[in-house]
Structure 1
Amino acid sequence: MARPELVRGVAEDLATLARGGKRVVVVVSAMGDTTDRLVALAGQFAERPRGRELDQMMATGEQVSAAALALAVAEHGVDAVSLSGDQAGITVAGPPGAGVIVRIDPSRITELLRGGQVVVIAGFQGRDERGEVRTLGRGGSDTTAVALAAALASHACEICTDVDGVRTADPRVEPSARPIPAIPYQTMAELSYYGARVLHPRSVRLAERKGVPVRVLHSARPGPATHLDDGDPMEQGHEVYGIAHETGIRLVRLTGSMLPPGETLRALAGLVSHGLRLDTLTSPVAGDLCFTVRGTAPLTDLLPGVARHLGAQWTVQDDLGSVSVIGTALLDEPTCLAELLHVMGALDVGVPAIITSPSRLTAVVPADRVDDAVRALHRTFGLDTPGARL
């Protein structure tokens, strides 16, 4: 949906499906960088825009996309109609910018489909019980699509992106990254949560819970696709599916507190309640506490008060990123962690934190070495060789 010619190409494909007897429901995101431009526009009128008004503004991006696509489909002689999230029967709850879909009344969509129309729905939005527009946060259109597929009992949900399916790494960093033919829902959620941008983890978890088959494919050309499934129903051994990465990791140190550990942890709980996404946490020992933070929460608004309460000094190291090996049963095979450690040692990078679980092995590294680490791990775990997944 980035450019008019791409929208016209999508419209032609949808018209072909409709003429072939398919009932078509489409969820769209905003065109190109529309959302960023709307946020910037709001910033011209308020230093900290109110959430309600920001939602009112941001929801228009997807509505413009939906109307544009419906117009383009109609030019092919196929009747089409655009709907906002509210018009599509999507009810959400939660604060501005972080709505959660609680139910969908698909009756209007079903009626339009029976009339032979292609239904184009603005993703990323709905209305709450008071009639207020609410957006769903990053990846909201993915979640909208899966939720609608579940509500309509669709036999499939196709997520069309600008890549050929989910790949073993970001192809912009590692050109040899290959499409993954099939991946379990839970593994896909891990890939998404720790840096892969193809699907939002909320949409993956919803698809698993509702049993929605999902296929990820390129929106403009035929090629490989990735199917999300439940995985092998029998016991599954260790397997590496891909390397995820992200930047914007911050390492926070609180040192010198004289308060007991329990009070320190209660103060930290207060930080979490303000939206901090903690990924690594050392238990307070001798008054020292260390944790990593993901996301853009304003630490300078929160940390000084906590530090004063604890009688501690605080520092933030903000030039970090992370690389994650994502797979299944990774701790069952000791060589997986050993390989990660070998790679970090060979790169000679400082690693202030390592996090392990059966589904991921994550190393926090300097932001300027993230790409090097992704390429080295991708090669070490054999992901650049077709059919050679560890």
Structure 2
Amino acid sequence: MVRKYGGTSLATPDLVRGVAARVAALAGAGNRVVVVVSAMGDATDRLVALAGQFAERPDPRELDQLLATGEQVSAAVLALALIRRGVDAVSLTGDQAGIEVTGEAGAGTIVRVAPDRILDALGEGRVVVVAGFQGRDGRGELRTLGRGGSDTTAVALAVALGASECEICTDVPGVRTADPRIVPDTRAVPSVSYEAMAELARGGARVLHPRSVELAGRHGMTVRVRHSSRTGPSTRVRAAEPALERGAEVVGIAHDRDVRLLRIEAPGPSADRGARLLAGLAAHGLRPDTLSWPDSGELRFTLRGSAPFTGPARALVEELGARWTVDDDLGALSVVGTGLLDRPDLLAEVLRTAGELGATTPAMAISAVRLTAVLPLDRLEGAVRALHRSFHLDRPVEARP
């Protein structure tokens, strides 16, 4: 069994001991168990803040060296808790677990897993606890995988070890139809396709990291999302069941509170200028989420997260003779499902809901699996709740029209 525990499940010594009890029960039932762990609680944020006390922009390599210790602490204390319960356990760093990565500091990607040491320990009857979020590159440098990287570590190990599925244990019982912190009547989704789950994750759902879902999909690895300490509903992420024809269906609604709208006004429309702008901005780490280039010559796209529009990126815009503005205090909601292009009424419902809330929608994007609308931040949660009702996500699947 490969099972991953997130940071909220390991935030305190008592929680670690509770995880150890559950892992011990699995091992006692005859399972060969590999556990992947994230850093305890908000340890990663505290390590980032610590680095900030020594450098305004910490050296990326040294920041990786520092951040990787958070998961290593979790692995070691969980192994200690298991040993105290009489379970033979060993903790391993990503490197010791045979995880080889490539890429830049803070953005490594897994290229190979050599699980010999894990298999040897399992053969000796040990529980193996692996520090997630990290590995070594071909030059022996430690690299972290970016936020959410422990999910990817768990899926990669499950694939390499030939597990039947990979369990992700979180503080919510399965993948929900919306964020239960703002929508009280959410429901667990019994099963969701890799594609829909990846879109929910990109839209702001925090249950799984998009890269881990994409990795699972490439290798056909079923991922089960369950509560870390309670029994109850769980969600299986797997390939969509084959059908002659699939109708339109809304699976869930994700939201993101950290969105900005970047407007770049160029002197007259020009496809070439737009291409140069996009290529140059991408080179500076800016990735558009929704994008429009109307005849007026104004390039509009939304940015997710903390991607900076400073320094070289602004200089590039000014070099091309363009003006720019950034609109803050925005959020985005994403309606995720299947066959959405066949349901124009869904787009109309989003616009109607925004209008009833007195909200403008400065940017929208739609595909077969995701409809994203950018809204003022103070209207975002109300729109999510209203659309959750409008699309009947508060009802069991069999009771939805």
Give the Cα–Cα distance (whole angstroms) in 1 for the partners of residues 55 and 269 of structure 2.
40
Paired with 2:353 and 2:294, the residues of 1 have a C-alpha distance of: 30
- Please tell me whether residue 40 in structure 1 is matched to residue 40 in structure 2: no
The more displaced of 19-28 and 287-296 is: 287-296
Would the aligned equivalents of 1:320 and 1:366 in 2 still touch at CA under 8 Å? yes
Identity percentage over the alignment?
62
SS at match of 2:300: strand
**Separation in 2 of the partners of 1:337 and 1:284?**
20
Distance 1:259 1:302, change over 3 A: farther
Of the candidates 373, 377, 389, which is equivalent to residue 383 of structure 2?
373
Q: How many residues of Structure 1 are paired with residues of Structure 2 in the alignment?
A: 390
- Looking at structure 2, the residues matched to 233 and 260 of structure 1 have their Cα atoms a distance apart, in angstroms, of 44
Structure 2 residue matching 1:297: 3-state secondary structure: coil
1:300 Cα deviation from its structure 2 partner? 2.3
Measured after TM superposition, the shift of residue 241 of structure 1 is 0.6
CA distance in 2, matches of 1:102, 1:303: 31
- Residue aligning to 2:274: 264
Distance 1:223 1:30 in 2: 25
State the TM-score, normalizing by the size of structure 2: 0.95
Equivalence for 2:366: 356
1:148 and 1:336 mapped to 2: Cα distance? 39
- Correspondent of 1:124 among 133, 147, 151: 133
TM-score by length of structure 1 reads: 0.97
SS at match of 1:299: coil
User: Which residue of 16, 20, 23 maps to 2:32?
Assistant: 23
SS of the aligned residue for 2:349 comes to helix
- What is the CA distance between 1:341 and its match in structure 2? 1.8
- 1:55 maps to 64
Matched, 1:248 2:239: no
Deviates more, 1:320-329 or 1:276-285: 276-285
- Residue 88 of structure 1: CA displacement? 0.1
Counterparts of 1:287 and 1:335 in 2: how far apart (Å)?
Answer: 30
3-state SS of 1:42 partner? helix
Does the residue aligned with 2:164 lie in a helix, a strand or coil?
coil
2:322 to 312, 316, 333: 312
The residue identity in structure 2 corresponding to 1:72 is A
Deviations 1:51-92 (A, max 9, x none): 000000000000000000000011111100000000000000
CA-based RMSD: 1.3
Query: Do 1:30 and 1:61's aligned partners in 2 also have CA atoms closer than 8 Å?
Result: yes
Instruction: Write the distance in 2 (CA, Å) between the matches of 1:93 and 1:353.
Output: 35
Moved more, 380-389 or 148-157: 380-389
Candidates 328, 337, 346, aligned match of 2:338 = 328
SS in 2 for 1:277: coil
Q: Report deviation, 1:309.
A: 1.4
Contact 1:92 1:127 in 2 (8 A): yes
Distance 2:225 2:246 in 1: 23
Are 1:240 and 1:389, in contact at CA under 8 Å, matched by a contact in 2?
Answer: no
C-alpha distance in structure 2 between counterparts of 1:136 and 1:298, whole Å: 20
- Structure 2 portions without partners, runs of 5+: 1-9
1:214-293 counterparts in 2 under 5 A? 214-234=223-243, 235-257=245-267, 260-283=270-293, 285-293=295-303
Residue 213 of structure 1 is matched in structure 2 by 222
Distance apart, 1:248 and its partner CA: 1.6
Higher mean Cα deviation, 340-349 or 109-118? 340-349
1:71-220 to 2 correspondences below 5 Å: 71-220=80-229
- For residue 346 of structure 1, the aligned residue among 341, 356, 361 is 356
- Matching residue of 2:7: none
2:21 maps to 12
Unpaired runs of 5+ in structure 1? none
Alpha-carbon deviation of 1:294?
1.4
Query: Which 4+ residue blocks in structure 1 deviate beyond 4 angstroms?
Result: none
